[in-house]
Structure 1
C-alpha cells in the first residue's frame, strides 16, 4: 500500500476519501447491529453526514471529464443526496421499509459499487491499494470487518 498518491491528490479527493472510509466502516456496523436503538439513530446521523460530505465533495473531483468536468459517477452523488433526504424523511414518518431500502441502496451503490470503480487501473485508489509496500491497511480493514461480523454472530447467537 502506498498512500503518497492520495497525499498528492487534490483537497477534494482527500476530503472525499476521509469521509467515505469511515462511512464504509460505520455503515457496515449500522447494517449489522440492532436497529431502532438510540445508538443506531445516533450513528445513523453521523453516517448520513459522512455520506453527504462524500457526495458533495465528489462534485469537486473532475478526473473523469466526460461532460464539462462531470461524469456518470456524479449522477450517483445526486442519487445519494436524494436518498439521504428520502431516508431521513422515511425514518421520521416511521416508514421503516422505505428507510431501509434507501440506506441499503446508498451503502451498496454509493460505497460498494462506487468503491469498486475506484480500484480500476489508472485511478488514485488503485495506486494506493495495489502499489508500494505491504497492504497492511487493507489487512487491518478486512480484520475489522471480520471482527464486526464475528461480534454480530455472537450477539445473535446469545439472543437466541
Structure 2
C-alpha cells in the first residue's frame, strides 16, 4: 500500500472512532448500546493504530528510518485497549474508565491535534 492509501484507510478508521468515542464519553455507561459501540470503538482504535505503524514518519526525528514520536501514540493504543477490555471483563470499572480516558485524550485528541501541524498531511489538506 502507498502512504496515501494508508492515510485514507487511517482516516476511515479514526474518524468514526472519534465520533463513537465522543458519544461514549458523553452518554450513559453500561447500556447494551455502550457495550456494542465500545467494542466497535476498540476495534477501530486497534485497526487505526496498526495502520499507523506502517506509515513512515515524515515530520521530526526518525528512528530506524521509519518511526517518529507520533508512533508512541500507536503504542499507547496497543496498551490501553487490551488493558481497558480486560479491566471491564474483570469488573474493574475504574481501571476501564481510566484506560478509555487515556486512550481518547492521548490517541484521539493529542495525536489528532498533531496532524494539524505544519508539514503534516491534514495540515496541508485543510489549513494550508
TM-score (norm 2): 0.92
- The equivalent of 2:37 in structure 1 is 43
- The equivalent of 1:121 in structure 2 is 118
How is 1:7-22 mapped onto 2 (pairs within 5 angstroms)?
Answer: 10-22=4-16
1:9, CA displacement in angstroms? 5.2
Distance (whole Å) between structure 1 residues aligned to residue 125 and residue 4 of structure 2: 14
Query: Could you list the per-position Cα deviations for residues 68-114 of structure 1 after superposition, in whole angstroms to 9, with x for gaps in the alignment?
Result: 21012112111111111100000001100000000010000000000
Distance (whole Å) between structure 1 residues aligned to residue 57 and residue 70 of structure 2: 11
Q: Which has the higher contact order (CA 8 A, sep 6+)?
A: 1
Consecutive aligned runs of 4 or more in structure 1 exceeding 3 Å deviation = none
Pick the aligned partner of 1:57 from 51, 64, 72: 51
Distance (whole Å) between structure 2 residues aligned to residue 46 and residue 78 of structure 1: 19
User: How many residues end up aligned between the 2 structures?
Assistant: 124
Distance (whole Å) between structure 1 residues aligned to residue 68 and residue 93 of structure 2: 32
Larger of the two Rg values belongs to structure? 1
1:63, CA displacement in angstroms? 3.2
**What is the root-mean-square deviation of aligned Cα atoms in Å?**
1.4
1:122, CA displacement in angstroms? 1.4
Distance (whole Å) between structure 1 residues aligned to residue 3 and residue 51 of structure 2: 13
1:67 aligns with 2:52: no
Structure 1 residues not aligned, in runs of 5+: 1-7, 132-160
Distance (whole Å) between structure 1 residues aligned to residue 7 and residue 97 of structure 2: 29
SS at match of 1:10: helix
TM-score (norm 1): 0.74
- The equivalent of 1:102 in structure 2 is 99
